[in-house]
């Protein structure tokens, strides 16, 4: 079972979804702005990505600056809480395939999970 954290207004997200569909993959589509992930879901996602919370942040969003998320003393728990409350902060797209996940930047990266 596969899922894509998708923002239909984002060209990178649309491109990643199109690439997957061209290869016969029809993932569940989660519009994470309409259905924000919980902190627990984000923690599980970090585990699948094999990364920390900071690498999942969109630093160009207004909320990033307004919430002071550039503070290096903030831990993963604080960053995940901010993302759960402000899902625009979550990098996109994210393709999840079973126990693995990848951030689709550039969109072609989603194909790395199709081996």
Q: How far apart are CA 103 and CA 66, in angstroms?
A: 24
Cis peptide upstream of residue 81 (ω within 30 degrees of 0) = no
Q: How is 7-55 classified by DSSP, letter by letter?
A: -TT-HHHHHHHHHHHHTT---EEEETTTSPPPHHHHHHHHHHHTS-GGG
Q: What is the total residue count of the chain?
A: 115
Distance CA 84, CA 97 (A): 21
Q: Which of 3, 6, 9, 10 is catalytic?
A: 10
Active site residue 108: no
Which residues carry out catalysis? 10
């Amino acid at each position: 079972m596969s899922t894509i954290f998708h923002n239909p207004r984002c060209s990178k997200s649309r491109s990643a979804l199109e690439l997957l569909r061209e290869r016969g993959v029809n993932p569940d589509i989660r519009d994470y702005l309409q259905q924000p992930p919980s902190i627990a879901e984000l923690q599980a996602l970090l585990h699948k990505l094999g990364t920390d919370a900071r690498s999942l942040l969109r630093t160009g969003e207004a909320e990033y600056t307004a919430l002071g998320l550039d503070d290096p003393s903030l831990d993963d728990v604080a960053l995940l809480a901010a993302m759960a409350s402000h899902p625009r902060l979550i990098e996109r797209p994210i393709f999840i395939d079973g126990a693995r996940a990848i951030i689709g930047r550039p969109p072609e990266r989603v194909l790395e999970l199709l081996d």
